[in-house]
Chains A and B, each alone.
Chain A
Amino acid sequence: MYYHTPNASQFVMFIRRFRAAVIALFILFSIGIFAFIKPELISSDTFFWLSESKQFEKTTQQEYTATYVGRLSIKAASFDETTKLQLQSIQTELEHQAGVEQVESLFATHMVFNDQTSEESAIVKALPIGSLSAQKMMTFVRAFPEPYTQFVNDDFSEFHFILHSQTPIQIGEMNIPFEHRYSEPVVEAQLGHYLWYVGVIVLVIVVMSRILFRNYIAAFGAISVTLLTLIWTFSIIYLLSGSQQIHIAMSLMVVSISIGHYLYFYYRWHVSQFKSDSNRALEKSINRNLHPAVWTLPVLILSLGSLLFADSKIVTMLSLSLMVSSAVAYIINIVFLPALLSFFSVKYPRIGFARICYWFANREIHYNPKILKGFMILSAVILLSIVTRLAISPNGFFDKHVSQNTITLKVPFEEIDLETLQKIETFERELRKHNKGIEKVDSVVTILKRLDMANKPQTSFDEQRLLQALFFLELYDLKKAYIDKDALNISITLHNTDQSAVIRWLEEYKGLPIYFTDIESLSESSKMDKTLLLAFSSLSALVMIGLIMGIIFRSAKIGFVGFVANAIPIIWFILFMMVCDFELSIEALIAMTISVGLTSDTIIHFGYKYFRSRYFGRTRKHALEIMFFYSGVPAITSAVVLMSVFALLTLTQLQSLQLIGAYGAILMFISLLSDLFILPILLLAVDKDSEQGMITRS
């Protein structure tokens, strides 16, 4: 219980005596297991999601290859002969990039026509549109805009190139003499991304160490503990799951948990040297944190444990990262850290910033219960509306809005006949009927109809006209984009719509055997499968945390505080996402899971400190001051450090990392506000006993 103070002097003495051996053992063991497991960093977010995508499995079983689809938009001040030639050379350069399978653009399209000089010919002609002069191109496209709208705007000032490639294309390496924008959602991480990521963490830790603790010991300790936690965590995960793959989100979770745990231990050692020597400070660091730190383990394990049984390797790996890192960080902080810190002592143990704690305590002791009640009712109403919306329309909650995107599909076929074309036409009609924002559906039907219509037929489309259109398709080499050996290609251009709704509709469509072939849709469909699972697990984790805290503190009221304090940041974060019209993506849910892990730690430390102080006879105000001083400062510090790390991650080029970074930073900020302004008041609210401490009463 929180009033027990474990006797750690023997243990600390032992560690001090064998400190060199302990450090050497940890380092050598870590090097050994690191060399043994050879962790494999997943260079692309996509591989992570594709590895268990059911749609991807279906596509590969059919022996279809999935491709990356990127969109290069180029702005040109005017369109003249020079611009035309420059854009044509960009087309050629793009086509020759390694791994590029196809580049769709205005310059890859054909002008399909029947020679207007005579009506006596049945020959359809298809001229590459780029062979026309710039002026004629504009005239023709403006006269017949429909096939070209996705490639050029009305005034010929913006051109779009849609790239289909086997590997992500590095557009930055090309010389494009125009203002341009490349939107490829999936980018493979380079070494530079990892170095940036590591550099950001190290920089923020060093800055924190200098500003707050005025030394480098804190930074050195944090980096050492984090590094060891990472190695041990991934080794244990490898032993448990057999997977060597490490996604960057997993490492973010481990870093967050590790720094969170570390700061409680280091801070206590640091400030204790104000009155005691470094040995006694080491003892205090252990015996004051041993209980709350160990309590965080069952809270995390039981609350997120259900995720281990989810039918998803990804979700299992993410939850394992949180649980294992929490246990590993605990061991490292009570064995390795004291051994390391025993070599140092602190010159400036005073933390000037800690004075703010007294301000918080003074303000919050006189909280207005009516405002607290109002806030709680408001939060409950928001929670209720979220749960209702989740129950009524679970999928609608996780919309993925896209401004412009392309979904590519393959449809197996045996023969291109009228029946096949009819099925594709029905598919297109149904797709447009049931989904908003379908800008264009491009398939073999589109080109065959264009070839057929060039002859201005008077009768309805029949078998002979289909055979003739297929003949011209072959004659002008237009087949490649639309027909493979045994599959028809369909590309769907979306404009300002919810991509996930379209993907869901396509997954459920029974009129045609559909196979997704663009990597973004494939990984998106995999994420969609996991999103709902992670959302329900996060909600159930909140309830579990409340239950376990109630058991630990043997009080239903504290259990309720545990639930509420954890739920409030999540509730307000979801409200923020809804108000700003951001989709509740898998990245947001990963950020939420990290936040749940950290907030539950903070609640336990706050609760432990507050009720321990109350037990030993401190007044409510004094208990609040002690709580803020010993638990508030490390909580604020770790929140600020992690917020900075997460915020800086938004500057990377990896989209999922950007999102986790942005959502994580926002969520941690909301959690920090909740920890500072709501949690202490909740603790005061449930501590109604008397102004005097419990021990005095008894």
Chain B
Amino acid sequence: MIYSVKPISSFLLILLSLWCFISIKAEGKDLSTKKMVALLEPIEQHAIQYGEGDIKVYVFVDPKCPHSRDFISMLFESQKMRTIYRYHIYFYELKRFNSHSLIGAIYSAPSPLQRMLEVMVGKKEINSMPNSDVKIEEKIDDIKRVAEQIGVSKRPYLIVAKEWD
């Protein structure tokens, strides 16, 4: 049996497919704050916490990215911004900076926060050997997975949670 498709029907079919494609894509890239926070909560223990405020800010940074460094420097200089907000900082590599080893080095430091500030604010050069700690690799992979789900494209990338979150 031969099925014939009318031109109008084929046009509607194409429109429907396009809508589905956009919707699926949007689901990954343009999530609501609540959904993004729900994705981030399981990896909160991987974050470097900075600040004591009531409002959570999830930040994806690359330790070598100058914009990320500017941003962390601004937080470092602003007591007010650390009082209002509490930052959950995730390292998420930008391929062109090749910062995977540096991320591993910061995570493996006794105080990752201290090390992050030394590197990103104090511009301290540290020897970053390829990481061999599986746990740290898992941590980096978990962050990467969630970042991809959220659609993190920029560094720094901010997600501000509402106070009730």
Q: Determine the distance from Cα of A115 to Cα of B78 in the docked complex, in whole angstroms.
A: 21
Q: Is A387 an interface residue, CB under 8 A from the partner?
A: no
Is there an interface contact between B160 and A475, defined as CB atoms closer than 8 Å? no
Is there an interface contact between B84 and A122, defined as CB atoms closer than 8 Å? no
Q: Is B145 an interface residue, CB under 8 A from the partner?
A: no
Contacts of B154 in A (CB 8 A): 119-122
Is there an interface contact between A120 and B65, defined as CB atoms closer than 8 Å? yes
Is there an interface contact between A467 and B33, defined as CB atoms closer than 8 Å? yes
Is there an interface contact between A475 and B78, defined as CB atoms closer than 8 Å? yes
Is there an interface contact between B36 and A474, defined as CB atoms closer than 8 Å? no
Shortest B133–chain A CB gap in Å is 28
Interface of B is mostly: mixed
Q: Is B41 an interface residue, CB under 8 A from the partner?
A: no
Q: Determine the distance from Cα of A262 to Cα of B44 in the docked complex, in whole angstroms.
A: 90
Which of A115, A120, A463, A475 has most B Cβ within 10 Å? A120
Is there an interface contact between A123 and B70, defined as CB atoms closer than 8 Å? yes
Is there an interface contact between A467 and B162, defined as CB atoms closer than 8 Å? yes
Contact of A123 among B80, B81, B153, B156 (CB under 8 A): B156
Q: Which partner residue on chain A sits nearest B67 by CB separation? A: A121
Contacts of B91 in A (CB 8 A): none
Q: Is B102 an interface residue, CB under 8 A from the partner?
A: no
Contacts of B32 in A (CB 8 A): 462-464
Q: Is A690 an interface residue, CB under 8 A from the partner?
A: no
Q: Which partner residue on chain B sits nearest A467 by CB separation? A: B160
Q: Determine the distance from Cα of A522 to Cα of B154 in the docked complex, in whole angstroms.
A: 49
Contacts of A470 in B (CB 8 A): 160
Is there an interface contact between B67 and A118, defined as CB atoms closer than 8 Å? yes
Q: Is B57 an interface residue, CB under 8 A from the partner?
A: yes
Contacts of B39 in A (CB 8 A): none
A120 in contact with B158 given A464-B32, A464-B36, A474-B84 (CB within 8 Å): no
Is there an interface contact between A471 and B94, defined as CB atoms closer than 8 Å? no
Shortest A502–chain B CB gap in Å is 36
Q: Determine the distance from Cα of A118 to Cα of B154 in the docked complex, in whole angstroms.
A: 10
Contacts of A468 in B (CB 8 A): 158, 160
Is there an interface contact between B67 and A123, defined as CB atoms closer than 8 Å? yes
Is there an interface contact between B155 and A475, defined as CB atoms closer than 8 Å? no
Q: Which partner residue on chain A sits nearest B160 by CB separation? A: A467
Contact of B158 among A115, A122, A459, A462 (CB under 8 A): A122
Contact of B33 among A120, A121, A463, A474 (CB under 8 A): A463
Shortest A116–chain B CB gap in Å is 12
Contacts of A463 in B (CB 8 A): 32-33, 162
Q: Determine the distance from Cα of A459 to Cα of B25 in the docked complex, in whole angstroms.
A: 13
Q: Determine the distance from Cα of A339 to Cα of B99 in the docked complex, in whole angstroms.
A: 105
Q: Is B50 an interface residue, CB under 8 A from the partner?
A: no
Shortest B61–chain A CB gap in Å is 10
Contacts of A467 in B (CB 8 A): 33, 160-162
Contacts of B80 in A (CB 8 A): 474
Contacts of B71 in A (CB 8 A): 123
Q: Determine the distance from Cα of A459 to Cα of B22 in the docked complex, in whole angstroms.
A: 12
Is there an interface contact between B30 and A122, defined as CB atoms closer than 8 Å? no
Contacts of B85 in A (CB 8 A): 471
Contact of A122 among B36, B78, B94, B156 (CB under 8 A): B156
Is there an interface contact between B74 and A120, defined as CB atoms closer than 8 Å? no
Kindly supply a per-residue 1/0 record for chain B positions 56-85, scoring 1 wherever the CB is within 8 Å of any chain A CB and 0 otherwise. Answer: 010000000101001100100010110011
Contacts of B33 in A (CB 8 A): 463-464, 467
Is there an interface contact between A120 and B84, defined as CB atoms closer than 8 Å? no
A475 in contact with B153 given A464-B36, A468-B158 (CB within 8 Å): no
A115 in contact with B81 given A464-B36, A467-B33, A468-B160 (CB within 8 Å): no
Q: Is B113 an interface residue, CB under 8 A from the partner?
A: no
Is there an interface contact between B155 and A121, defined as CB atoms closer than 8 Å? yes
Kindly supply a per-residue 1/0 record for chain A positions 430-472, scoring 1 wherever the CB is within 8 Å of any chain B CB and 0 otherwise. Answer: 0000000000000000000000000000010011100110110
Shortest B3–chain A CB gap in Å is 38
Q: Is B48 an interface residue, CB under 8 A from the partner?
A: no
Q: Is B159 an interface residue, CB under 8 A from the partner?
A: yes
Which of B71, B78, B160 has most A Cβ within 10 Å? B160
- CB under 8 Å from chain B, chain A span 108-128: 115, 118-123
Is there an interface contact between B36 and A475, defined as CB atoms closer than 8 Å? no
A120 in contact with B153 given A459-B30, A463-B32, A474-B84 (CB within 8 Å): yes
Q: Is B107 an interface residue, CB under 8 A from the partner?
A: no
Shortest A287–chain B CB gap in Å is 84
Is there an interface contact between B153 and A464, defined as CB atoms closer than 8 Å? no
Which of A122, A468, A471 has most B Cβ within 10 Å? A122
Q: Determine the distance from Cα of A464 to Cα of B33 in the docked complex, in whole angstroms.
A: 6
Contacts of A121 in B (CB 8 A): 65, 67, 154-156
Contacts of A459 in B (CB 8 A): 30
Shortest B86–chain A CB gap in Å is 12
Q: Is B90 an interface residue, CB under 8 A from the partner?
A: no
Q: Determine the distance from Cα of A467 to Cα of B36 in the docked complex, in whole angstroms.
A: 13
Is there an interface contact between A471 and B158, defined as CB atoms closer than 8 Å? yes
A474 in contact with B160 given A120-B155, A459-B30, A463-B33 (CB within 8 Å): no
Q: Determine the distance from Cα of A122 to Cα of B85 in the docked complex, in whole angstroms.
A: 18
- CB under 8 Å from chain A, chain B span 79-119: 80-81, 84-85, 94
Contact of B57 among A115, A123, A471 (CB under 8 A): A471
Contacts of A120 in B (CB 8 A): 65, 67, 94, 153-155
Contacts of B57 in A (CB 8 A): 471
Q: Which partner residue on chain B sits nearest A472 by CB separation? A: B158
- CB under 8 Å from chain A, chain B span 138-165: 153-162
Contacts of A123 in B (CB 8 A): 67, 70-71, 156
Q: Determine the distance from Cα of A467 to Cα of B65 in the docked complex, in whole angstroms.
A: 24
Is there an interface contact between A475 and B65, defined as CB atoms closer than 8 Å? no
- CB under 8 Å from chain B, chain A span 42-76: none
Shortest B29–chain A CB gap in Å is 9
Shortest A521–chain B CB gap in Å is 33
Shortest A417–chain B CB gap in Å is 9
Q: Determine the distance from Cα of A123 to Cα of B94 in the docked complex, in whole angstroms.
A: 16
Shortest A251–chain B CB gap in Å is 53
Contact of B81 among A118, A119, A122, A474 (CB under 8 A): A474
Shortest B82–chain A CB gap in Å is 11
Contacts of B94 in A (CB 8 A): 120
Shortest B78–chain A CB gap in Å is 7
Contacts of B74 in A (CB 8 A): 475
Q: Which partner residue on chain A sits nearest B162 by CB separation? A: A467
Q: Which partner residue on chain A sits nearest B71 by CB separation? A: A123
Contacts of B153 in A (CB 8 A): 120
Contacts of B160 in A (CB 8 A): 464, 467-468, 470-471
Contacts of A115 in B (CB 8 A): 67
Q: Which partner residue on chain A sits nearest B60 by CB separation? A: A122
Is there an interface contact between A464 and B155, defined as CB atoms closer than 8 Å? no
Shortest A72–chain B CB gap in Å is 31
Shortest B87–chain A CB gap in Å is 11
Q: Determine the distance from Cα of A122 to Cα of B65 in the docked complex, in whole angstroms.
A: 12
Q: Determine the distance from Cα of A369 to Cα of B85 in the docked complex, in whole angstroms.
A: 87
Q: Determine the distance from Cα of A471 to Cα of B75 in the docked complex, in whole angstroms.
A: 12
Contacts of A119 in B (CB 8 A): 154
Q: Determine the distance from Cα of A470 to Cα of B81 in the docked complex, in whole angstroms.
A: 12
Shortest A682–chain B CB gap in Å is 77
Known: A121-B65, A464-B33. 9 other contacts (CB 8 A): A120-B67, A120-B94, A122-B156, A122-B157, A123-B71, A467-B33, A468-B160, A470-B160, A474-B84
Q: List 9 A-B contacts (CB under 8 A).
A: A121-B65, A122-B155, A122-B158, A123-B156, A463-B33, A467-B33, A471-B158, A471-B160, A474-B81
Which 7 pairs from chain A and chain B are nearest by CB?
A467-B160, A121-B67, A122-B154, A464-B33, A120-B154, A463-B33, A471-B160
